Structure 1
């Protein structure tokens, strides 16, 4: 866990980053906006060689152009994203290697590893005139070692989206599911799940193991920093699920493949 929705995923010899953000703020301006309250779990210059970057959508806490420019200069990774986000990235990182897709499209990372864009209940915008002009998604990482699903940002809705992911792809070995940025519910419920809904996604997809993301790094909404982790534990206990099967990782903590089936 690097922080927020940024994770280093190492599978079958490939290093992937999800929604990489190493900046101090997530905002169109460098001097104002939500500020990082935890140090990145991995220092940027300590990263291994990054093969690919998975960008779920264009909100500033997920698509950080400053970080993408740094990654391009240091690693020149393949950048995979839903349609429309490539225009934003190319304006700032013109020499980036980019592949785009629609929901359910598959992009090959290596001959053995691919990612499929999965639907999410969310939206996109960088300003006031481009709302929903770029697509948003999660990513199913298909490898010979493990199946890893990164949900991206999402609301729960009626849950059909997540049950369909299980039908299409099977049960993920590891699901990376958002647990934070959910208050107030009257405003956030359509776009961000609360921890009890995160547990429902875990059950709907049949994941063997889950890692909670999208909490504790940037103060985006009204809940206290540690509340998502506490409510996640309460929701797991209420559902009769071993709390070790769904971990809310702090920056710098990790989940290893010793528990991957």
Structure 2
């Protein structure tokens, strides 16, 4: 596949999006049956609360650091799953915010959070922009959208993939920017801080979308870039491995920080097309020419995958040690505040 072939997504006559990547193969009925058989025959023990606390500590962040991030540096905090707060050059950006107890359309069933958010939405600093990678329930949480709208109102600008804007508007989001792959836009400086221009770029991912039983692939899915003159950040959203990441690296790299999914990858016959494993995440880190990458999309919700819950972290640590390169790929604790130049 040539680089030029990756510059736009394919849209068919029925109004649905489809991945242009040859490797994408949505699991059919046979794989689904095998997956559910393997899932329900698994006898892996459920970790205790003490074990979770020991292995995945949730740190209460120092709120004054979030309100006054260091000038000239990039500050970031993993809130949980794919939710990350990025602070740089006067801008505060949030990815895939989910504070809900469950990632499900029903409040009392579905994957239940086993690591709480380290802070409330009311404790966040002023947020300028929120990006949404796609409409699955573990990335687009209606209670979190409502709470962010209630807290920030028209100050907040939402950036979403093509086809998702009407859903956001129907939930009270008034400043919504809808983008397709390779399109970019800039949030308005409503806080009057005279900051460097922030470009937010919608970039490819290999995934799919579904919110109800009748809207499969009616909206696009994406990764995202946040870029000023001084700093650049990439956020993976959900994705399988595809040739687009080398193109993103050539076109926009190197990146100061990349937030890359590392969990929900097993069994591979079911997950490979839609979720990268840690080895593929490490390759994306290299494709992007990322100076630092952090693992996300793990350690927060049970996502129905079969890998042990700490395995993503253990594999990333092993790969980093084997690589020995000057540009690290790390995992971080929920709520820990980190800074880099």
TM bin, normalised by shorter chain, reads: over 0.9
DSSP 3-state at the match of 2:285: helix
Equivalent of 1:91 in 151, 170, 175: 170
Contact between 1:150 and 1:177, CA under 8 Å: does it hold in 2? yes
CA deviation string 1:181-214 (max 9, x = no partner): 1111110001111101110001111100101100
Partner of 1:181: 264
Partner of 2:219: 134
How far the C-alpha of 1:72 sits from its partner, in A, is: 0.6
How far the C-alpha of 1:239 sits from its partner, in A, is: 2.9
User: What does 1:1-261 align with in structure 2 at a 5 Å threshold?
Assistant: 1-76=78-153, 77-93=156-172, 95-110=173-188, 112-157=197-242, 160-220=243-303, 221-241=305-325, 245-257=328-340, 260=341
Normalised TM-score (structure 2): 0.72
DSSP 3-state at the match of 1:2: strand
In structure 2, distance between residues paired with 1:170 and 1:251: 27
Contact between 1:12 and 1:144, CA under 8 Å: does it hold in 2? no
How far the C-alpha of 1:41 sits from its partner, in A, is: 2.4
Aligned residues between the structures: 254
How far the C-alpha of 1:109 sits from its partner, in A, is: 1.6
In structure 2, distance between residues paired with 1:161 and 1:64: 27
What CA RMSD, in Å, does the superposition of the two structures yield over aligned residues?
1.4
In structure 1, distance between residues paired with 2:199 and 2:80: 24
Q: For structure 1, which runs of at least 5 residues remain unmatched after alignment?
A: none
Q: For structure 2, which runs of at least 5 residues remain unmatched after alignment?
A: 1-77, 189-195
In structure 2, distance between residues paired with 1:126 and 1:23: 16
In structure 2, distance between residues paired with 1:108 and 1:240: 37
How far the C-alpha of 1:255 sits from its partner, in A, is: 2.5
In structure 2, distance between residues paired with 1:113 and 1:155: 27
DSSP 3-state at the match of 1:90: helix
DSSP 3-state at the match of 2:79: coil
DSSP 3-state at the match of 1:215: coil
